[in-house]
Structure 1
Amino acid sequence: MDDVQKDYFYKMKEALKITLVQADLIWQQPEANRVHFTEMIARVEADSDVVVLPEMFSTGFTMNPNTVAETMDGETVVWMKEMARQKQVAIMGSVIIVENDLYRNRFIFVMPSGEIVTYDKRHSFTLAGEDKTYAAGKERVVIDYLGWKWCPMICYDLRFPVWSRNTQDFDALIYVANWPQPRINAWDALLKARAIENMCYCIGVNRIGEDPNGHRYPGHSSVYDVLGAELVNMKHGNEGLETIILNKHHIETNRKKLGFLKDRDLFTLQEE
């Protein structure tokens, strides 16, 4: 295989291996969480391409960002870059970032090369006061990696299908979350729905455990294919890793055969 072929193979993968990391989070202790995830990531299969961590994986879903927020040059982003380099995988999850005096719930996608792409959570969870604490994002992001198009989303975004609408022919939606036990049926149902309506893989990674506010999190990290078939669902509620292969042929074959995306409504979102 010559250098051109090697470069093409690196950039274009028909079969891609993704690892979901379902874990408990140590409340507002970034260093302790980084140590814990370092241990978990060490167990990721050597040929995995992508590793997905939960929402606010370094802190838990806290409304006290002033005590734990970091910059994009902070220790957690540096740690993500080092983990991606060591394991030669893309690593993603959301982190509390402070930027221009505003706190953001930011999805961070780090490639092995050190390149970073970010998405700021669009829909603030008003029930917990997130809208009063964090600045909402305004732009949707699609990430090109290994010949796949990834659309990152965060937790509450899952409830709003128009924001997730597949107008850019992305291959996979990725939701990272701190989704609690009382509404876990909605999590399961909506992940499946987002896969079906967008004819894409839909991946959701949720935390487990209980936070100091008494909210329990049952996991249910999962993967659905373009027809809504459940490929993975970590309903056991334990910490652990699940690795699965996503296949580009599955997407292309079903989109060509069924053509549902061609009939989607032609409208655009306009900021009020």
Structure 2
Amino acid sequence: MQQNLRLCIAQMTSTNQHAGNIAFVEDAVRHAAAQGCDLLALPEAAGMVNRDRDDARRQITEEADDPFINACKRLAAEHGIWIQTGSTPIASGDGRFLNHANLINASGTSVASYDKIHLFDVFLEGRPATGESSRYAPGAEAVLVDTPWGPWGLTICYDLRFPHLYRDFARRDATVMFVPSAFTIPTGEAHWEVLLRARAIENGAFVVAAAQVGNHDDGRQTWGHSLVVDPWGKVMVDMGGTDPGLEVIDLDLGQVRRTRDQIPSLRNQRDYKLRHITGSN
């Protein structure tokens, strides 16, 4: 396993059309390749942020025809770099979309894909209900993929609140866990960093969380603060909550094993039964 990973993490303000987002990724890939990066990590909805259902439906296709995914494959091959696409909406076949991620290798081949399992159906005080399941179908499979840098776990945004998913990855030796996101302002301010640091600390793994930021074409506002967190829970990169951009960071993947050896919670975990005592008041 390769011990060093040079990562370029992107923070985006994605538009409601594929073309503008592809242009951003073209520049990002050129920058990352010039910096000698092995991987470019993109945020959730990197391909499109568009809550106009009719307009979105006119643009969104099945994976094989998706212009954003195909552009990422082309760019990966041209520049010899891996791309974690964050996610982009594709057609599901039931009239809804899939929130879909790809991991593309340096030859331009998609070596893994993942559809977001946990959909953001929440009810924040003072805000309209957020019903992601009315537009998106849920995925059914968690995805862990072997890479030259060890196994990598693919998740998207709201998955972050389901810690058993990341524990399953860690128990299978995941070195890096991706959480591309488009967090809202109130949930981002309250929960974003603490949840990402918790997932890293609990599992002794790197967490890479590229994020959307700012004011989008469709009126949406996103939190930003793309983060990279090391296995000890230290924030290595925080890109702030204002502007899109790129950051390059070197990950020492040997830190995963060193951290897990110091705090061997994966080995210490025990099976147990839950005893619920009732009627004791």
Q: What is the aligned partner in structure 2 of residue 13 from structure 1?
A: 2
> What is the deviation of 1:45?
4.2
Answer whether contact 2:52 2:218 (CA < 8 A) is retained: no
Alignment-mate amino acid for residue 106 of structure 1:
H
- Indicate conservation of the 8 Å contact 1:25/1:209, yes or no: no
Q: Partners in 1 of 2:151 and 2:157 — Cα distance?
A: 20
SS of equivalent to 1:114: coil
Q: How many residues align?
A: 255
- The yes-or-no answer on 1:43 pairing with 2:34 is no
Deviations 1:131-151 (A, max 9, x none): 122111111111111132110
| Structure 1 residue 250: Cα displacement | 0.9
Distance apart, 1:266 and its partner CA: 4.2
In the superposition, the TM-score normalised over structure 2's length comes to 0.85
Residue from 16, 19, 44 that aligns with 1:55? 44
2:49 is paired with a residue whose SS is coil
1:138-185: CA deviation from partner (whole Å, max 9, x where unpaired): 111111111321101101111111222122121111101111222223
Which residue identity is paired with 2:105? M
Structure 1 window deviating more from structure 2 (195-204 vs 162-171): it is 162-171
Determine if contact 2:4/2:149 at 8 Å carries over to the other structure. no
Choose which of 234, 259, 265 in structure 2 pairs with 1:229.
Answer: 234
Could you tell which deviates more after superposition, 15-24 or 92-101? Answer: 92-101
Q: Which runs of 5+ in 2 are unaligned?
A: 123-129, 273-281
Q: 1:216 to 1:251 in 2, by over 3 A?
A: same
Which structure 2 residues correspond to residues 240-251 of structure 1 after superposition, within 5 A? 240-251=245-256
Runs of 4+ residues deviating >4 angstroms: none
1:33 is matched with 21
Q: Which has the larger radius of gyration?
A: 2
TM-score norm. by structure 1 comes to 0.87
Equivalent residue letter for 1:100: G
**What RMSD in Å do the two structures reach over aligned CA positions?**
1.8
Instruction: Give yes or no for the alignment of 1:126 onto 2:121.
Output: yes
Equivalent pair of 1:59/1:68 in contact (CA under 8 Å): no
Question: What letter is aligned with 2:175?
Answer: D
Asked if 1:85 corresponds to 2:77, the answer is: yes
Distance 1:202 1:147 in 2: 14
Q: Which residue of 2 aligns with 1:175?
A: 179
Give 1:99 shift: 3.9
The answer to whether residue 38 in structure 2 is matched with residue 71 in structure 1 is no
Q: C-alpha displacement at 1:236, in angstroms?
A: 4.9
Shift, 1:196, TM fit: 0.4
Higher mean alpha-carbon deviation, 40-49 vs 154-163, is at 40-49
CA distance in 2, matches of 1:188, 1:100: 35
Shift in CA distance, 54/256, structure 1 to aligned 2, threshold 3 Å: same
Return closer, same or farther for 1:261/1:82 CA change in 2, 3 Å cut-off: same
**Aligned partners of 1:23 and 1:207 also within 8 Å:** yes
TM-aligned CA deviation for residue 119 of structure 1: 0.7
1:45–1:212 Cα change, 3 Å: closer
Cα separation, partners in 2 of 1:146 and 1:215, compared to 1, 3 Å: same
The equivalent position to 1:161 in structure 2, one of 143, 160, 163, is 163
8 Å contact 1:198–1:261 — kept in the other structure? Answer: yes
Q: Distance in 2 between matches of 1:229 and 1:76?
A: 33
**C-alpha distance in structure 1 between counterparts of 2:262 and 2:50, whole Å:** 42
Overall identity of the aligned pairs, in %: 28
- 1:63 to partner: Cα distance: 6.4
Tell me which residue corresponds to 1:196.
201
Q: Which residue of 1 aligns with 2:276?
A: none
In the alignment, structure 1 segments of 5+ residues that lack a partner are 1-11, 268-272
**Residue number in structure 2 paired with 1:113:** 107
Confirm or deny: 8 A CA contact 1:142 1:149 kept in the other structure: yes
